[in-house]
Structure 1
Amino acid sequence: MALVDLKAKPYQLNQEQIDWVEHTLGKLTDEEKIGQLFFNLFMLNGKDYNNTQLTNQDILNKYHIGGARYEGGTKEDVQNLLNELQTHSKIPVLVAANCDSGGNGACKDGTYIASAAQCEAAQDTRVAYNAGLVAARESSALGVHINFDPCVDILQNWRNTIVNTRAYGTNAETVIKYTNAYIDGFNAERDMITCIKHFPGDGTEERDQHLVLGVNELSVEDWNNSFRKVYENHIERGVQMMMAGHIALPEYQKHINPSLEDKDILPATLSKELITDLLKEELNFNGLVVTDASHMLGMTAAMRREDYVPLAIAAGCDMFLFFNDLEEDFNFMLNGYKNGVITEERLNDAVRRILGLKAQLNLHKRQQEGTLLMPESALQVIGQPEHLEMQKEAADLGITLVKNTLDELPITPEKHKRIRLYMIENSEKDGIYQSDSTVTANIIKELESRGFEVTLNDGSTRVKGKTLDYRKEVDAAIVIANIVGYAAQNNYRIQWSTAMSNEIPWFVYEVPTVFASLNFTTHLHDATMVKAYINAYHSNPTTIKALVDKITGVSEFKGVPNDNVWTEKWQAKL
């Protein structure tokens, strides 16, 4: 078993820090060690996924959690929660957020800079650097220490929408280029921890491991020539954490252990072959491995929860992401240790890695000095003008004209005063990510401010009317796909409002028609008939303004698409 070396990369602790780790480890009870293995999810939106009525202080005292993540909340809400956790925690808690696009992943009012797909389209590493820089500035003001990003997956399969906007490219070299820039920005001003994901790599198939076991089908040779290069790059650069995906790598697993049959294949989170043998020993990763969220079906479908909770740690993962039921999962893990599923050596190694990251951040010193809690004044950095300028620059560089084969752009109020606006949206009740309800109003306001007369289409009917009348009443059509979703479908595609809805672009030869996606980059697959197609990557007001600037010819298009946008359809290019 590969044991951690706290003097080596990525820890590189001094003797004082190592002494604190060993002294603290030596004083922990078995129950306290078990608690350190868990990240708990704290909800700021009134929901309770942990099946508990315990207060936050009770959770800390009873379950001794090592890490915290949270969901929802304004900057004040989040900072108050994190200060409360650190106030009542015996050992400082590692706090994580998902800041893949800037500070908006840390709180509701954080600043979006650019998604990974937008960074690639911008063709400028400065955009990725700024996304990382703002992520660190704004999340650290709240009390966050760890970024569960960037995503270093390679988007080889255009049908994959779970990492469509979170992947920085379609090959290892591009992913390395932009994720390096993002991490450089993230580390530029703050001592924080980066956690890349999702080992052994997503993006080769179309399914979502939230809903089914993910499978990276690559051969040993193909994986070594792609994903391995990405992980080796980041290990060499000193990344501290990796998130293991609920993703199998069957060819490699069988290469390491030829006795495995198909029925024995497990997701990386439960696979000794992938976490211990490949990642920690062969790739020499000396940092900390955390599981992806344990309520995902890629993990839960493997075996009973009572078995996979401790097996994740036995396989080589060091922290377990999220309880289902606090008491039950804690006891599953504790019993796994008592029953020998988790050896004492493995438990101590995992806890040593966890404490090592806390020592690297000097959280123990900050706790003693009274500087661990974040002051309200720190929140002033969130949404500051400099960050909004970075957002504006990213939108200008990233928005991508994929095609304009009928040369219909620009659309101007002088030539196309009467606009028919089509808003294509999906509806997920209680979704993790939901579309902003103000988007339609913002788009109409922006268009009208330029002198257009805008009529919003009703897509709930099939009625199209006479085409000649349509041409008399409408000067141009703008179709906006505001499709947002996460973990409720394996793939997010365009879903029209009704069967043969009048919003389906039947009008592309009747009037100049522009189609723009505000999120996913592959909607051409469902709308190959449109002749002017744009990827805009986000729906914030800055992006909407920049999009209208480019549609109207005020600003030129600068983004560059990758080949996935064509979805392997020749007609998409027409």
Structure 2
Amino acid sequence: MTDLLHGSADPLALAPEDRDWVERTRNSLDTEARIAQLFVLSSREDSAAETAELLAVRPGGIHRFPTGDLDAALTQTRIALESSEVPPIITGDIEGGAISYQFTTPVPNQLGLAACDDLALTEAVAAVIARESVALGYNWSFAPVVDLNRAFRSAIVGTRSFGADADRVLSHARAYVRTLQQHGIAATAKHWPGDGIDDRDQHLVTSVNPLGPIEWEQSFGRIFRTLIDDGVMTIMSAHIALPGFVRSLLPDAGREAFAPASVSHLLNQRLLRDQLGFRGLIVSDATVMGGLTSWMDRAEAVPAVIQNGCDVFLFSRDPASDMALMLKGVREGRLSETRLDEAVTRMLSLKARLGLHRRSPSERVRPTDEVRAMLQTDTATGVATRAAGEGLTLVKDTAALLPLDLGRHRRVVILADPGWSFVSGAPPRSFEPLEQELRARGFEVRAFDADAPPTRDDTDLLIYAVGQEATPSLGQIHLDFSKLHGGSRKAMMQFNREIPTLLVSFGQPYYLYDAPNMETYVNAYCSLAINQRELVKRLVGEAPFTGRSPVDPFCGQEQLRW
């Protein structure tokens, strides 16, 4: 295990022998190979054909999305390590909740974790993630999310952040970063320069952080500055504009005030490096996202990402073509040799700081049986279950519906919308654990029938179970009554004045905005089976609700409180 915490100065500082490896390796690479080192490409299939296609362009790293086959995942990771002259770095979006492997310990998403309001528990969950990630061969996690969840319609920040309050976000992020890096996983603070004020999704458009310099410094600036001082190794530069800062330097910036950070010299160099003092590695957010592709032509954007301050180019729909565009940018002077070498040096320094050049493939990925024994241990499951339960938040119960009991609530109808996840290989979504736990306690549970809606004569309790967590490309999250009730006309039916009704969100925490007259509402934050099981314990009074909301679930609207 390698402790990667430095304190403040340089999170990529190396011993002399490691610096020598970086310099020798960099100097041995031709221009095309140096360019390839800047690319982290994505893997979704864990297939031999996909791995061969990725390795053909000799990328600096491979990003592994979750799949359901542990042996296949480990096998393809080993092949990538064994087949590469320069050791590749293995990255992942390891955030918990919907972004989980099916064979790892299921842990709550960041919002559910923040609702526990227990930094020791955040550290314990981060340690579970780190240990299992190391076992799976990961070296670099694109987490934590340090955005501020203030735009309640945001479908991309929502459940992925530690909440709306900068102090709470910072305290949990510090614990999370510290724990990951103590276990040998490079952490990433994202999304620079800060998301969650604009309710749009940078996967679809160039979104905007509208804060002026003073307010930005007091919130996002303080968060990033503190994490930099703590020694966070990497920061992800997103397709998010910060016009307030740009105009403080260039009052007549015009359109350029809204340039995404991923291609903004002012945001990456002047603000992040010069003013905040960051000396670690800057990775772009995924370059296939609409926030970049809608801003700039691809031939211009590819070299611009590196020239304007990012050290790593994340993802590509056509790696060979993008690498050719990067080379063309070098030959035409749009990407300087100096900047290219600087970025390559940082990428190799990150690898050296992680010790990748000193570890054999067999040391980086152990035999499958050994790895399996390190996943979903009793200790890890206990930590995850505790976090799932303690974060559950009773937002309101003005009807005094809870606790449920068989005398009043035996016949239960569930209206379910499990939601979906953009991430390939994410765990399957259903509310079967909720139903099983209720039935085990004697409740009679049936699914909502749009052609035979429940009445007070045949139903004692109506439960809306909605499971949409934050996910890319969704646009907005709202309570979709047309989908829930089986049609646009049926969407206008409301049952809560006739039948005792419970609304449970296993995702987005703001559904009261769409159902202000629901009198009993719970935020469970994610629909993992452990969340559902722990929820039923609290619904029937076997355990108390202890979660403290990290956001304003009433959306600033008094109407929602009643």
Relative to the length of structure 1, the TM-score reads 0.91
After TM superposition, give the deviation of residue 185 of structure 1 in Å.
Answer: 2.7
Aligned amino acid, residue 378 of structure 2: P
Q: How far apart, CA to CA, are the structure 2 residues paired with 1:449 and 1:348?
A: 62
Residue 520 of structure 1 pairs with residue 520 of structure 2: no
After TM superposition, give the deviation of residue 437 of structure 1 in Å.
Answer: 5.2
From 477, 480, 487, the counterpart of 1:492:
477
Q: How far apart, CA to CA, are the structure 1 residues paired with 2:420 and 2:390?
A: 30
| 1:247-295 C-alpha deviation (Å, 9 max, x unpaired) | 0001101213334213553100000000011111111110100110111
Structure 1 residue aligned with 2:143: 149
From 86, 89, 92, the counterpart of 1:94:
89
Q: How far apart, CA to CA, are the structure 2 residues paired with 1:113 and 1:485?
A: 16
Q: Is the alpha carbon distance of 1:219 and 1:349 closer, same or farther for their aligned partners in structure 2, counting shifts above 3 Å?
A: same
Q: How far apart, CA to CA, are the structure 1 residues paired with 2:126 and 2:300?
A: 37
Gap runs ≥5 in structure 1: 47-52
Between 544-553 and 561-570, report the one with greater CA deviation: 561-570
Structure 1 residue aligned with 2:3: none
Structure 2 residue aligned with 1:552: 540
From 219, 226, 248, the counterpart of 2:219:
226
After TM superposition, give the deviation of residue 444 of structure 1 in Å.
Answer: 1.8
SS in 2 for 1:403: strand
Q: How far apart, CA to CA, are the structure 1 residues paired with 2:166 and 2:428?
A: 37
From 352, 365, 384, the counterpart of 2:358:
365
Q: How far apart, CA to CA, are the structure 2 residues paired with 1:311 and 1:280?
A: 17
Residue 169 of structure 1 pairs with residue 157 of structure 2: no
Q: Is the alpha carbon distance of 1:560 and 1:14 closer, same or farther for their aligned partners in structure 2, counting shifts above 3 Å?
A: same
| 1:528-547 C-alpha deviation (Å, 9 max, x unpaired) | 11100000112222211111
From 373, 376, 384, the counterpart of 1:391:
384
From 225, 232, 236, the counterpart of 1:239:
232
Q: Is the alpha carbon distance of 1:18 and 1:386 closer, same or farther for their aligned partners in structure 2, counting shifts above 3 Å?
A: same
SS in 1 for 2:270: helix
The aligned runs of 1:36-435 (5 Å cut-off) are 36-44=37-45, 56-57=51-52, 59-60=54-55, 62-73=56-67, 74-101=69-96, 105=99, 107-188=101-182, 190-263=183-256, 265-367=258-360, 371-376=363-368, 377-426=370-419, 431-432=422-423
From 424, 443, 457, the counterpart of 1:472:
457
Q: Is the alpha carbon distance of 1:204 and 1:326 closer, same or farther for their aligned partners in structure 2, counting shifts above 3 Å?
A: same
Q: How far apart, CA to CA, are the structure 1 residues paired with 2:53 and 2:206?
A: 34
After TM superposition, give the deviation of residue 433 of structure 1 in Å.
Answer: 6.4
Higher relative contact order (CA 8 A, sep 6+): 2
| 1:343-396 C-alpha deviation (Å, 9 max, x unpaired) | 1111111011011011111111113x9633432212311111111111110122
Q: Is the alpha carbon distance of 1:371 and 1:440 closer, same or farther for their aligned partners in structure 2, counting shifts above 3 Å?
A: closer
From 426, 433, 439, the counterpart of 1:448:
439
Q: How far apart, CA to CA, are the structure 2 residues paired with 1:411 and 1:304?
A: 58
Q: Is the alpha carbon distance of 1:457 and 1:372 closer, same or farther for their aligned partners in structure 2, counting shifts above 3 Å?
A: closer
Q: How far apart, CA to CA, are the structure 1 residues paired with 2:74 and 2:414?
A: 40
Q: How far apart, CA to CA, are the structure 1 residues paired with 2:431 and 2:252?
A: 56
Q: Is the alpha carbon distance of 1:308 and 1:506 closer, same or farther for their aligned partners in structure 2, counting shifts above 3 Å?
A: same
Q: How far apart, CA to CA, are the structure 2 residues paired with 1:520 and 1:54?
A: 37
After TM superposition, give the deviation of residue 489 of structure 1 in Å.
Answer: 2.4
Q: How far apart, CA to CA, are the structure 2 residues paired with 1:362 and 1:100?
A: 24
After TM superposition, give the deviation of residue 420 of structure 1 in Å.
Answer: 1.7
Aligned amino acid, residue 44 of structure 1: E
Q: How far apart, CA to CA, are the structure 1 residues paired with 2:185 and 2:194?
A: 24
Q: How far apart, CA to CA, are the structure 2 residues paired with 1:295 and 1:184?
A: 30
After TM superposition, give the deviation of residue 160 of structure 1 in Å.
Answer: 1.6
Asked if the contact 1:404/1:533 (under 8 Å) is kept, the reply is yes
Q: How far apart, CA to CA, are the structure 2 residues paired with 1:503 and 1:434?
A: 32
Asked if the contact 1:424/1:494 (under 8 Å) is kept, the reply is no
Structure 2 residue aligned with 1:457: 448
Q: How far apart, CA to CA, are the structure 2 residues paired with 1:571 and 1:246?
A: 35
Aligned amino acid, residue 330 of structure 2: Y
SS in 1 for 2:525: coil
SS in 1 for 2:62: strand
After TM superposition, give the deviation of residue 177 of structure 1 in Å.
Answer: 0.8
Structure 2 residue aligned with 1:14: 15
Asked if the contact 2:503/2:522 (under 8 Å) is kept, the reply is yes
| 1:459-482 C-alpha deviation (Å, 9 max, x unpaired) | 3x4x647xxxx2222222222112
Structure 1 residue aligned with 2:27: 26
Relative to the length of structure 2, the TM-score reads 0.93
Asked if the contact 1:268/1:275 (under 8 Å) is kept, the reply is yes
Residue 482 of structure 1 pairs with residue 467 of structure 2: yes
Q: How far apart, CA to CA, are the structure 2 residues paired with 1:132 and 1:511?
A: 42
Asked if the contact 1:269/1:312 (under 8 Å) is kept, the reply is yes
Asked if the contact 2:470/2:508 (under 8 Å) is kept, the reply is no
Aligned amino acid, residue 236 of structure 1: D
Q: Is the alpha carbon distance of 1:483 and 1:372 closer, same or farther for their aligned partners in structure 2, counting shifts above 3 Å?
A: closer
Q: How far apart, CA to CA, are the structure 1 residues paired with 2:53 and 2:533?
A: 47
Aligned residue pairs, count: 551
| 1:6-50 C-alpha deviation (Å, 9 max, x unpaired) | x9521221111111111111111111100001001112177xxxx
Structure 2 residue aligned with 1:49: none
From 524, 538, 543, the counterpart of 1:536:
524
Q: Is the alpha carbon distance of 1:503 and 1:424 closer, same or farther for their aligned partners in structure 2, counting shifts above 3 Å?
A: farther
SS in 2 for 1:550: helix
Aligned amino acid, residue 305 of structure 2: A
Structure 1 residue aligned with 2:552: 564
Gap runs ≥5 in structure 2: 1-5
SS in 1 for 2:413: strand
Q: Is the alpha carbon distance of 1:263 and 1:318 closer, same or farther for their aligned partners in structure 2, counting shifts above 3 Å?
A: closer
Q: Is the alpha carbon distance of 1:453 and 1:85 closer, same or farther for their aligned partners in structure 2, counting shifts above 3 Å?
A: same
Structure 2 residue aligned with 1:50: none
After TM superposition, give the deviation of residue 500 of structure 1 in Å.
Answer: 5.1
Aligned amino acid, residue 176 of structure 1: L
Q: How far apart, CA to CA, are the structure 1 residues paired with 2:391 and 2:429?
A: 22
Asked if the contact 2:186/2:234 (under 8 Å) is kept, the reply is yes
C-alpha RMSD of the superposition: 2.3
Identity %, equivalent residues? 30
SS in 2 for 1:423: strand
Asked if the contact 1:97/1:106 (under 8 Å) is kept, the reply is no
Q: Is the alpha carbon distance of 1:509 and 1:55 closer, same or farther for their aligned partners in structure 2, counting shifts above 3 Å?
A: closer
